[in-house]
């Protein structure tokens, strides 16, 4: 049954004996129906997955993970421990312990393969995004410059990071 038909049935006032309480009920029913339709539309728009014909952004997560790793976490990193301390506002050993803790408490932070078997973001990327947002008060789209993750993923990472830590 279409939504318009539902509304027409609710609005049908052919009964001449209807009183004001019936009118109020009809108005409340219409408002409730419209609210339900709007909520359903919002939910369906929120997570829609892949859409055929839409261009995909190839973020190349592996290259970006490797760059982050080489810059700060390799045996001989590009940046010194002092640089790490300035960038992350903590020692590298503490940062790595936090990553281990968060991975153990939330599987979201464990790197996975997507439906076409391509590796997704690493825990290093997700936690780095969350930590930078917390440490510097950065907006979610600002972490994209270095970590190269989408704004929505940065927000999800931050929320889940905070839940895991708290």
Same-domain status, 96 and 28: no
Whether 9 has a pLDDT exceeding 70, the answer reads no
**Any domain includes 70:** yes
Same-domain status, 123 and 70: yes
pTM assigned to the model = 0.64
**Any domain includes 55:** no
In 3D space, the residue among 128, 122, 152 whose CA is nearest the CA of residue 140 turns out to be 152
**Any domain includes 97:** yes
Whether 76 has a pLDDT exceeding 80, the answer reads yes
Same-domain status, 159 and 132: yes
Same-domain status, 83 and 22: no
User: Which of 4-8, 41-45, 138-142 has the lowest average pLDDT?
Assistant: 4-8
Contact 153, 121 (CB under 8 A): yes
Contact 124, 96 (CB under 8 A): no
Contact 64, 125 (CB under 8 A): yes
Q: What domain count does the chain have?
A: 2
- Concatenating the DSSP letter of every residue in 43-73 gives HHHH-----TTPPPP---HHHHHHHHIIIII
DSSP 147: T
Same-domain status, 68 and 34: no
Q: For 97-154, what is each residue's pLDDT tens digit? A: 999 999 999 999 999 887 878 888 899 999 999 988 888 888 887 877 778 888 888 8
Length of the chain: 166
- Please report the pLDDT score of residue 134 as a whole number: 87
**Any domain includes 54:** no
Same-domain status, 77 and 40: no
Same-domain status, 33 and 67: no
Same-domain status, 82 and 137: yes
Same-domain status, 124 and 101: yes
Residue ranges making up the domain that contains 81: 61-165
In 3D space, the residue among 165, 166, 90, 96 whose CA is nearest the CA of residue 132 turns out to be 90
Same-domain status, 92 and 41: no
Same-domain status, 106 and 160: yes
Query: In 3-state terms, what secondary structure has residue 134?
Result: helix
């Amino acid at each position: 049954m279409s939504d318009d038909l539902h509304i027409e049935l609710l609005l049908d006032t052919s009964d001449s004996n209807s009183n004001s309480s019936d009118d109020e009920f009809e108005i409340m029913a219409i408002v409730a129906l419209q609210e339900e339709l709007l909520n359903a539309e919002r939910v369906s728009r929120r997570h829609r997955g892949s859409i055929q014909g839409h261009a995909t952004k190839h973020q190349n997560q592996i290259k970006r993970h490797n760059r982050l790793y080489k810059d700060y976490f390799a045996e001989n990193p590009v940046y010194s421990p002092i640089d790490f301390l300035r960038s992350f506002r903590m020692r590298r050993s503490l940062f790595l312990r936090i990553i281990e803790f968060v991975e153990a408490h939330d599987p979201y932070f464990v790197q996975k393969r997507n439906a076409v078997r391509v590796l997704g973001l690493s825990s290093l990327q997700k936690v780095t995004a969350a930590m930078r947002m917390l440490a510097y008060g950065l907006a979610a789209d600002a972490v994209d410059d270095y970590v190269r993750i989408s704004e929505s993923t940065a927000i999800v990472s931050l929320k889940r990071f905070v839940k895991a830590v708290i």
